[in-house]
Amino acid sequence: MSAASVSELLARQKAAFTAAGPVSATVRRVRLQAVIDLLVRHHRALTDAMDADFGGRRRGYSMMNDILGPLSSLKHVRDHFEAWMPDEPRSAAPYEAIGGQAWVRYQPKGCVGIIGTWNAPLFTLLSPLACALGAGNRAILKPSEVVPRTGEVLAAAFAEMIDPLEVGVLLGGPDVAQAFTRQPFDHLVFTGSTAIGREVMRGAAEHLVPVTLELGGKSPTLVGRSADLGMTAFRLAAAKVTNGGQICVNPDVTYIPEDRLEAFIAAFRVAYEELLPTIRDNADVTAVVNPRHSSRVESYVADAAARGLRIESLSETVPADDTENRRRGARLVVNPGADALIMQHEIFGPAMAIKTYHRIEEAVADINSRPRPLALYYFGTDEAEQAFVLDHTISGGVCINEAMAHGGLHDAPFGGVGDAGMGHYHGREGFIEFSHLRTVYKASEIDPRKEWGMVPPYPEWLEGALEASITP
């Protein structure tokens, strides 16, 4: 596809949106159901494509994350959007005394552009699409070029089953993505890195397009002294093995009390190696998506080794230069400094930093010294400590005694803050995100402004009356 293709399809969608007028609940339901039917019909071809693109990704995992995940989002919106549609009455003060009325109308914005990512190639496209369609919009999807087979299958499925003037799919590389971000969409959604997110926002600024940015960052885990280390280690290990750690809300750096470090590492090793006892030929291990990303993760570990840091390798060690097999076991890097590469970049792969602390305040201060993360995890049963962590940190979302689960909640907003992004999708907040909140005021037939001295010629007594109204 070319930049002209993006512009042409968007222009046609906008014309169709204007010509169609108000988008009824029936039309919205039909569009949502069409995407649901598409996933049901093509799920095998899509999961096979993801396996091929990654060079090893369990079809079962792809079904959980990229088929059932967006299916659940689509069904939740399908089953609830009608309750979100009605006008919302608001106070008409100060005009209520003369019979004024006010309400908020939720109108579709028009055409929404959605740029997905490679690590969750269907979820990051179709989960926000659910909210966009529920709000009455049309959409154009741009799959990641890093997973080309998945993009091709998805594009063919949409071309077969859905009118491109309702939901279109455009394929292409970075040039198409760049052109995509510079189109006059009515809203733009991007999932990806913080660095690219800044570029997306610059492009959207050309037409003052509102954006939803789901980015990332170094999502921290705070393990309190009250935490059950066995449970904590298992749940963090389960998160780390998920998609080979290639998830935006994956635990990146874990803070552990210094006197519990060895016990935690031992518990984590047991939990991780129970889940993945082998690596190289284990189909349960999701491969790092391509040689470039594999080299990136390995460079963080190599930098830690060059600094003389302690590195714990779990399960089977696969040589870093084995680019034919990109399955890797997790590496734990203990107490890296702020200048270590693994602390300067989101890992997005099978590795994790561990930092020790004496007092929870130290760990919180270290987290707050870096950009705000997309997610934060706290493990422990100390209610006062839990409250301290929640009160003194800011992140996109939080899990307590779990990791990553908040991103799967369909009735709660998912999104970032600061460098981790802006805006939300999921649930009613997603419906609102893709709606124009249009205030409507309806005046009564009575207009007392002359009698009240509110229009020229202003009476002498007006200033005194207004002065009397200025009260604390």
Residue 16 CA to residue 41 CA, distance in Å, equals 27
Q: Return d(Cα 326, Cα 336) in angstroms, integer.
A: 25
Q: Do residues 313 and 346 share a domain? A: yes
User: Residue 248 catalytic?
Assistant: yes
Q: What is the mean pLDDT of residues 375-387?
A: 98
- Give the tens place of pLDDT for each residue, 155-204: 999 999 999 999 999 999 999 999 999 999 999 999 999 999 999 999 99
332: β partners? 312, 352
Q: Are residues 75 and 179 in the same domain?
A: yes
- 379 and 310 inside one domain: yes
Instruction: Work out the pLDDT band at 3, boundaries 50, 70, 90.
Output: low
Q: Angle formed by the axes of helices 25-54 and 148-161, to 10°? A: 150
Q: What are phi and psi of 165, to 5 degrees?
A: -80, -10
Residue 241 belongs to some domain of the structure: yes
CA 20 to chain centre: 31
Paired with 168 in beta bridges are 140
For 235-246, what is each residue's pLDDT tens digit? 999 999 999 999
Residue 419 scores a pLDDT above 70: yes
Q: Are residues 174 and 284 in the same domain?
A: no
Is residue 455 domain-resident?
no
Residue 125 has pLDDT above 70, yes or no: yes
Q: How many domains does one find in the chain?
A: 2
Q: Residue 166: give its domain's CATH number.
A: 3.40.605.10
Read off the pLDDT of each residue in 65-79 and give the average, rounded to a whole number. Answer: 97
Tell me, rounded to whole angstroms, the distance of Cα 345 from its chain centroid.
18
Task: Looking at the structure, tell me whether residues 61 and 101 fall in a common domain.
Answer: yes
Q: Is 131 a catalytic residue?
A: no
Does residue 375 share a domain with residue 227?
Answer: yes
d(CA 103, CA 437) in angstroms, rounded, equals 10
Q: Quick one: 19 and 97 in the same domain?
A: yes
200 and 253 within one domain: no
pLDDT at residue 226, rounded to an integer: 98
214, 298, 346, 433: the active-site residue? 214
Q: Is the pTM of this model over 0.85?
A: yes
Q: Does a structural domain hold residue 450?
A: no
* Residue range 62-80: mean pLDDT, rounded: 97
Mean pLDDT of 352-381: 97
Q: Which of 462, 418, 446, 434 is nearest to 134 (CA)?
A: 434
pLDDT at 370 exceeding the cut of 80: yes
Position 449 in a domain: no
- In a shared domain, residues 206 and 256: no
Domain annotation covers residue 466: no
What percentage of the chain exceeds 70 in pLDDT?
Answer: 99
Distances (CA, A) of 317 to 285, 367, 454: 13, 30, 80
Residue 168: DSSP 8-state = E
Give the active site residue among 248, 298, 346, 399. Answer: 248
CATH of the domain at 363: 3.40.309.10
Retrieve residue 334's tokens.
Answer: 């203990």
Domain boundary among 408, 427, 455: 408
Q: Are residues 294 and 149 part of one domain?
A: no
Domain range for 385: 220-408
Whether 9 is covered by a domain: the verdict is: yes
Structure tokens at 353: 């930093």
In a domain, 453, yes or no: no
Contacts of 82 (CB under 8 A, 6+ apart): 25, 29
Nearest Cα residue to 64 out of 404, 294, 398:
404
One domain for residues 131 and 81: yes
pLDDT at 249 exceeding the cut of 70:
yes
Instruction: Report if residue 467 sits inside a domain.
Output: no
341 & 207 share domain: no
**pLDDT for position 2:** 65
